[in-house]
């Protein structure tokens, strides 16, 4: 029996989020520049997207470029943006074949014009797809998102549309740029690091974490299946006791 066969399709997480880490270290091990690692990470993205789509997972969010990544050397940032454009061009066929809808999350206005246009085109080409929603977190951070929601909230109070007493978690969540998707049940981070790096800070309150030492360019569908199996073996209590969950 394969790993995929062991997965209970009735207990899949609706939303899996991934921090794709380790491209630079992988490239260094191979004796190449950091961009070499990012280029090889595209294979891991393709394998993971196809695996998630085949299983029937509804949302897959990939942390592709954080707001903090703008502080990296300009040469690397420019290379990453160029890689993003070429990858979108090359992978649109894979998205269409697997009925995957592309969605972008983040400060898209801060992206270079060429990247934004290619992103918009690919989103438009896949908008009718009804399977997996592939969410690319670009120029994104959790604090950026919470700040964006807080700004909208302040405007609503200032305009008199709501009172401070009406503010609750549900309203706050509805104002998040990510309000279109459910909170992730599973967060995966590769490369051996054990932190969330400003990713989906509001949404991961009750998310299960899976950390692996595998560097992102080496991550394959079998690793993804193993993470799903690990998730399915956990008891999710949401503050309750084990006895309450069983009941």
Name the residues annotated as catalytic: 21, 69
The predicted-structure confidence for 208-226, as pLDDT tens digits, reads as follows 999 999 999 999 999 999 9
Question: pTM (2 decimals)?
Answer: 0.93
In a domain, 147, yes or no: no
Q: Do residues 102 and 64 touch, judged by C-beta distance below 8 A?
A: no
In a domain, 56, yes or no: yes
Token representation of residue 157: 């109070």
Cα end-to-end span (Å), the chain? 32
In a domain, 146, yes or no: no
In a domain, 73, yes or no: yes
Look up the domain containing 213 and give its range.
Answer: 11-141+183-233
CATH code for the domain of 211: 3.40.1180.10
Total of domains in the chain: 1
In a domain, 47, yes or no: yes
Residue 190 has pLDDT above 80, yes or no: yes
239: alpha, beta or left? (left if phi > 0; alpha if psi -120 to 50): left
H/E stretch holding 67 reads: none
The predicted-structure confidence for 86-119, as pLDDT tens digits, reads as follows 999 999 999 999 999 999 999 999 999 999 999 9
pLDDT number for residue 243? 52
In a domain, 1, yes or no: no
| Strand 208-211 to 133-140 pairing | unpaired
In a domain, 37, yes or no: yes
In a domain, 247, yes or no: no
Q: How confident is the model at residue 136 (pLDDT cuts 50, 70, 90)?
A: very high
């Amino acid at each position: 029996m394969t790993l995929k066969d062991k997965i209970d399709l009735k207990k899949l997480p609706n939303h899996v989020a991934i921090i794709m880490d380790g491209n630079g270290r992988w490239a260094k091990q191979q004796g190449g520049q950091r961009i070499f690692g990012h280029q090889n990470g595209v294979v891991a993205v393709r394998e993971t997207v196809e695996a998630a789509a085949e299983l029937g997972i509804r949302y897959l969010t990939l942390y592709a470029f954080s707001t903090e990544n703008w502080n990296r050397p300009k040469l690397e940032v420019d290379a990453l943006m160029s890689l993003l454009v070429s990858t979108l061009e090359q992978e649109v066929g894979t998205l269409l074949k697997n009925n995957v809808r592309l969605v972008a999350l983040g400060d898209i206005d801060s992206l270079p014009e060429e990247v934004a246009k290619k992103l918009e085109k690919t989103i438009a080409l896949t908008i009718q797809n009804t399977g997996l929603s592939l969410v690319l977190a670009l120029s994104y951070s959790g604090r950026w998102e919470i700040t964006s929601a807080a700004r909208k909230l302040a405007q609503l109070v200032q305009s008199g549309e709501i009172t401070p007493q009406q503010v609750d978690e549900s309203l706050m969540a509805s104002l998040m740029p990510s309000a279109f998707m459910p909170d992730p049940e599973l967060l995966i981070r590769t490369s051996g690091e054990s932190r969330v790096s400003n990713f989906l800070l509001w949404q991961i309150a009750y998310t299960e974490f899976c950390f692996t030492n595998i560097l992102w360019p080496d991550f394959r569908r079998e690793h993804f299946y193993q993470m799903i199996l690990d998730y399915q073996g956990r008891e999710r209590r949401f503050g309750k006791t084990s006895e309450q969950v069983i009941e």
